Amino acid sequence: MSTEILAKVLQIFYSTISIYLLLLFVRVLLSWFPNLDWSNPLLSNLSSITDPYLNAFRGLIPPLGGLDLSPLLAFLALQLMQSLLSRATMTALNSSMVYYN
């Protein structure tokens, strides 16, 4: 029973990361439009949710020709985390199946 709960919790984390990846993607796309009003509540909230995570990677990769490549590393880190969560979920589900057989 506890492994099923663990699997559900891991699936929730996986889904949360998926939603956050979507928010990051939208944030990166919007950064291509310099004339946007970032004081808009929707854009301001998006920025406040995503910028702290992106700032963690901005110092790791210097901009190349004015192009900030740090979001690529940020996306890769989240996708790696999703992959690990997916494997952990499958392991938890497989271990719960062993007890029922």
DSSP states of 5-41 as a string? HHHHHHHHHHHHHHHHHHHHHHHHHHTT-TT--TTSH
Cα–Cα distances in Å, from 90 out to 8, 14, 29? 11, 12, 33
Mean pLDDT of 16-31: 96
Question: Do 57 and 70 contact (CB within 8 A), yes or no?
Answer: yes
Query: For 40-65, how does the pLDDT look when each residue is reduced to its tens digit (9 = 90+)?
Result: 999 999 999 999 999 999 888 888 88
* Residues listed for the chain: 101
| pLDDT score at 96 | 66
Using 50, 70 and 90 to split pLDDT, how confident is the model at 85?
very high
Q: pLDDT at position 42, please?
A: 95
In this predicted structure, which of 22-26, 40-44, 90-94 has the lowest mean pLDDT?
90-94
